[in-house]
Amino acid sequence: MKVEEKRTYQAVIGLEFHVHLATRTKMFCGCRVVYGDEPNTHTCPVCLGHPGTLPVVNEKAIELGVMAGRALNCEVSERAVFARKNYFYPDLPKGYQISQFDEPICTGGHLDVPVGDETVRVGITRLHLEEDAAKNVHVGESGRMHGSVGSLVDFNRGGTPLMEIVTEPDIPSPEAARATANHLKEIMRAIGVSEADMEKGQLRCDANVSIRNLDGSFGVKTELKNMNSFRFVERGLARELERQRDILDSGGKIEQSTLHYDPETDEVHELRSKEYAHDYRYFPEPDLMPLKLSEAWVREIEDRMPELPDEMRQRFVEEYGLSPYDAGVLTADRDLASYYEAVAAEVDPKQAANWISGDLRSLSNESGTEISDSGASPEHMIGLLQLVTDGSISRSAARDVLGTVFETGDSPSVIVEREGLSSVGGDELSGVVEGVISANPEEAERIRAGDKKVIGVLIGQVMKATRGNADGGRVREILLQKLGS
Ligand code: ADP
Ligand code: ZN
Ligand code: MG
Q: Which residue has the higher pLDDT, 270 or 238?
A: 238
- Torsion sign across C-alpha atoms 127, 132, 136, 142: positive
CA 76 to chain centroid: 25
The model's pLDDT over 419-447, given as tens digits with 9 standing for 90+, comes to: 877 777 667 788 888 899 989 888 888 88
For the chain, the first-to-last Cα distance in angstroms comes to 69
Cβ neighbours for 6, distance < 8 A, ≥ 6 positions apart: none
Side-chain-facing half-sphere of 5: CA atoms under 13 Å: 3
* Gap between the Cα atoms of 297 and 398, Å rounded: 51
CA 361 to chain centroid: 16
The model's pLDDT over 444-471, given as tens digits with 9 standing for 90+, comes to: 888 888 888 888 889 998 888 887 777 7
Coarse DSSP helix, strand, coil percentages of the chain, rounded to the nearest 5 percent: 40, 20, 40
* Gap between the Cα atoms of 455 and 438, Å rounded: 14
Query: Minimal CA–CA distance to 459: which of 475, 446, 444?
Result: 475
Kindly state if the Cβ of 168 falls inside 6 Å of ligand 1. yes
* Gap between the Cα atoms of 83 and 97, Å rounded: 8
* Gap between the Cα atoms of 279 and 127, Å rounded: 21
Q: Measure 207 CA to ligand 1 centroid, in angstroms.
A: 9
CA 388 to chain centroid: 33
The phi, psi pair for 179, rounded to 5°, reads: -65, -40
Kindly state if the Cβ of 169 falls inside 6 Å of ligand 1. yes
What is the average pLDDT across 39-58?
A: 97
Query: Minimal CA–CA distance to 21: which of 218, 211, 157, 224?
Result: 157
Kindly state if the Cβ of 210 falls inside 6 Å of ligand 1. yes
The model's pLDDT over 14-24, given as tens digits with 9 standing for 90+, comes to: 999 999 999 99
The model's pLDDT over 147-158, given as tens digits with 9 standing for 90+, comes to: 788 899 999 999
Ligand 1 atom with the smallest distance to the CA of 15 is 14
Q: What percent of the chain has pLDDT over 90?
A: 69
Q: Measure 34 CA to ligand 1 centroid, in angstroms.
A: 33
Query: Minimal CA–CA distance to 116: which of 365, 327, 315, 325?
Result: 325
Residue 227 has a pLDDT of: 84
DSSP 246-266: HHHHTT--PPPEEEEEETTTT
* Gap between the Cα atoms of 199 and 179, Å rounded: 18
Residue 1 has a pLDDT of: 41
- C-alpha distances out from residue 207 to 161, 277, 331, 377, Å: 22, 17, 28, 42
3-state secondary structure of 42: coil
Kindly state if the Cβ of 166 falls inside 6 Å of ligand 1. yes
| Ligand 1 pocket mutation pick from 221, 224, 258 by most atoms within 8 angstroms of CB | 221
Contact (Cβ atoms closer than 8 angstroms) between residue 461 and residue 415: no
Amino acid at 329: V
- For residue 290, the 8-state DSSP code is P
* Gap between the Cα atoms of 371 and 409, Å rounded: 11
Number of neighbours of residue 114 by Cβ within 10 angstroms: 16
- Tell me whether strands 106-115 and 96-100 are parallel, antiparallel or unpaired: unpaired
Q: b or e along 147-181 (b: 16 or more beta carbons within 10 Å of the residue's beta carbon)? A: ebeeeebbbbbbbbbbbbbbbbbebbbbebbbbbb
Beta bridge partners, 155, equal: none
Q: Measure 101 CA to ligand 3 centroid, in angstroms.
A: 10
Q: Measure 61 CA to ligand 2 centroid, in angstroms.
A: 15
- For residue 199, the 8-state DSSP code is G
| Ligand 1 pocket mutation pick from 120, 208, 278, 280 by most atoms within 8 angstroms of CB | 208
Sorted by where each starts, the structural domains of the chain and their CATH numbers stand as 11-299 (no CATH), 307-419 (no CATH), 426-482 (1.10.10)
* Gap between the Cα atoms of 24 and 30, Å rounded: 9
Residue 2 has a pLDDT of: 46
Class of residue 250 by CB neighbours under 10 A (exposed 0-12, middle 13-18, buried 19+): exposed
Contact (Cβ atoms closer than 8 angstroms) between residue 194 and residue 177: no
Q: Measure 78 CA to ligand 2 centroid, in angstroms.
A: 28
Kindly indicate the confidence band of residue 476, based on its pLDDT and cuts at 50, 70 and 90: confident
The model's pLDDT over 137-186, given as tens digits with 9 standing for 90+, comes to: 888 877 677 778 889 999 999 999 999 999 999 999 999 999 999 999 99
Residue 24 has a pLDDT of: 98
3-state secondary structure of 60: helix
Kindly state if the Cβ of 404 falls inside 6 Å of ligand 1. no
* Gap between the Cα atoms of 292 and 314, Å rounded: 34
Residue 357 has a pLDDT of: 94
Residue 474 has a pLDDT of: 80
